[in-house]
Structure 1
Amino acid sequence: MSKKYRVGVIGTGNIFKTAHLKTWLEHPDTEIVALCDVLPDRVQAIAKEANVTDVYTDYREVIRRSDIDLIDICTPNKFHSVISVAALEAGKHVFCEKPDAINPQEAQRMADAAKRSGKLLMVMRNNRFSSAAQYLKRYIDEGHMGEIYTGRCGWIRRRGIPGKGGWFTTKELSGGGPLIDLGVHFIDLSMWLMGNPKPVAVSGAVYTKFAHNELSDSIHSTSGDKQAGGTYDVEDLATGFIRFDNGATLQIEFSWASNIGEEMNFIEFRGTKSGASLKRGELALFSEAAGQLTDIKPQLHKQKAPPQHGENIKHFIDCVAGRAEPIIRPEHGVDMINILCAIYESAECGREVRL
């Protein structure tokens, strides 16, 4: 019989409730034994739903418990690194929501703490686990695209600002706007599919044009805790360009609000043997065969939303149990936060930033 891992959860807001809770409750190898949130009413409500009796408002009390094996962190971004480091140093395995941290120094502290402790640190990269991404990864690794020399990726919304006035739009707590909120998803997915090349330089620009606009057309605008008249000191659109050590490049665009036709997320690659387009989860491949251009649309199994978060957590559990090798490693997070913060630096200074 496999070991039952005891889980302590820190942060019980919307992302935990909608994307984490079900997997922890249903997985045969895990049991939630402690829940923590700074809002007592919220943690009590989740505790009742999850049938958990031990609730806290101070994360340090959870980490101090010697009977807890795994910590799941779903707090505002600012606290990801400090809680992760404390949990790792206390001998816990850590699963943390994205982004890894709000600056490169904190991301490196997390990676160093994981190495010292010998415990597993994994940060959510759920988009790697979609059926389309898994198929495209195998297609690329089998050599069907040849050399991927350039690409572009993005997640653009018409009106979808999350938690306006709350921690999402407060740079001290979030680290930034859509670049750090959404960019971490599709820049990571692009780099993973490309074989994790090392970033060497970035150039970027950011814009804040919708701080006083209250319209919304996206379900994502309901995320977070809104505060009327609260802080909005982050961007609502970011564009950029990343250079890698192998000569490949990646264009990026991420927005919470802009005047476009509709919300869309996408990745496009240009390879020497074929190209790829992944838009809203639909994958298409463009190549040539027998003297003709060809378009291929793989017949992938359909997934119920949101499937990838649960698959990511299951992968973490498999890695803790020794049944799998991590495909998401702390050094990926260090590279990611270096990229994001360098794009913010480039936007401020108006020139390319070397990494």
Structure 2
Amino acid sequence: MTLRIGFVGCGGMGKSHLRTLRDLDGFDVVALSDVSTEALSTCGEEFGVADHYTDCAEMCDAVKPDLVVVATQTRHHHGPSVAALERGIHVLCEKPMAIDPVEADEMVAAAHKSGAILSINQQNHVNPAVERALQMIEAGDIGDVVMVRGRNKHGRKSGNEFTEMGTHITDIMLRMGGKPLWVAGSVMWEGREVTADDIMEAKEMSPNDRDSGPVAGDRAIAHYGFEGGTLGEIQFLGYKALQNTNYGVDVLGSEGQLAVRVSGFKAGGIWHLPRPMEGTPADLGDWSAVDLGAEAEKETEALMYQRLAAAIAGNAAVPASGEAGRLAMEMVIGIYASHRQAGVRVALPLADRRHPLDAWRAG
């Protein structure tokens, strides 16, 4: 079966998806949609797609694709996704799935009502390193999981890092730690605690970054409590240098540890420590690499499409469902909700479905 795709978003991220799809069997991009006719023309010529639309709903009605891929910037995820889902068309939406929980709720509700699949492109959800780590945890290789520690790429101020890359990490933390019950966090800006006056739009903080809604802060830390007593921690320290190789999570168990790294679009790697405490830097030789074999060379974006196709065919679970994407997003923006209340624990899912920074600005 070949899935006919209506594709939304002809920018840099969109072209990354289209390059992946060009090399995959079982997918046919039949139409493109973008608000820019110039982008449509350029992208259509590069990828050999002649049918163009400036409105996703119009594209869906005219082409009736099996799957709509939404690869726009975050502010423009909600409209095209809901338009497709309301028509019973499956959706793969880029991360983070929405600007705020209100939009995310509407996307999930539209999928439930029509029965269409909503999947969020948290491609590390199908990363072979992550899946092998889950198998090792299930096998008891590190005992009981006591903490999951997120490690970000950096290279951005924390406000932009939250929304652009944070949900990749919280999605993995969800899989390793289980259902999150609360978040407690603190956010800093230029050496002091963030106030409502420091809230700005993502493009104001970093003009060359993506439009992901309201942001604040250049450094932050958050702690989480998961069902079953597992704890979590994630840091956004605003280092200027991008550090792909340390991107991932550490899973601390009662009998050992795993260091799971998910660099770039490849599987990354896993290192295993067969005891619960790290020791000193002199003990680094005690860590052993886990051989992923041929799995290490697989492209996670391609795996995401293949797993989604299997789910559409009824042969696999939905990878990174809308519900999972929504919770991963709330783990991130919930840091702001806690910070506003002097770092107290805030229950997850969030009770107030507005973006915490919008609620703060509104008083």
Residue 3 of structure 2 corresponds to 5
Q: Cα distance 1:320–1:232, how it changes in 2: closer, same or farther (>3 A)?
A: closer
1:354 to 324, 344, 347: 347
Flag structure 1 segments of 5+ consecutive residues without an equivalent.
Answer: 162-168, 170-175, 211-223
Instruction: Report the aligned-residue RMSD.
Output: 2.9
Cα displacement (A) at 1:120: 0.8
Cα displacement (A) at 1:52: 0.7
Residue 23 of structure 1 corresponds to 20
2:270 to 277, 280, 283: 283
Cα displacement (A) at 1:241: 0.7
Amino acid at match of 1:203: A
Q: Cα distance 1:225–1:31, how it changes in 2: closer, same or farther (>3 A)?
A: farther
Residue 145 of structure 1 corresponds to 142
Amino acid at match of 1:50: F
SS at match of 2:293: coil
Q: Cα distance 1:276–1:322, how it changes in 2: closer, same or farther (>3 A)?
A: same
Aligned counterparts of 1:241 and 1:337: Cα–Cα separation in 2: 15
Aligned counterparts of 2:228 and 2:77: Cα–Cα separation in 1: 31
Pairwise mapping of residues 1-355 of structure 1 onto structure 2 (< 5 A)?
2=1, 4-18=2-16, 20-157=17-154, 159-160=155-156, 177-194=160-177, 197-209=178-190, 226=208, 234-254=216-236, 257-258=238-239, 264-279=246-261, 280=263, 281-287=268-274, 295-301=287-293, 307-352=299-344, 353-355=346-348
2:7·2:33 contact (CA, 8 Å) conserved in 1?
A: yes
2:13·2:72 contact (CA, 8 Å) conserved in 1?
A: no
Q: Deviations over 1:94-150 (max 9, x none)?
A: 000011212122212222211111111100111133332221121112222221011
Which segment is superposed worse, 26-35 or 294-303?
Answer: 294-303
Cα displacement (A) at 1:325: 2.0
Identity %: 26
Cα displacement (A) at 1:304: 8.0
Amino acid at match of 1:61: E
Cα displacement (A) at 1:78: 1.9
Structure (1 or 2) with the greater helix fraction:
2
Q: How many residues align?
A: 316
Aligned counterparts of 2:287 and 2:294: Cα–Cα separation in 1: 20
Amino acid at match of 2:302: G
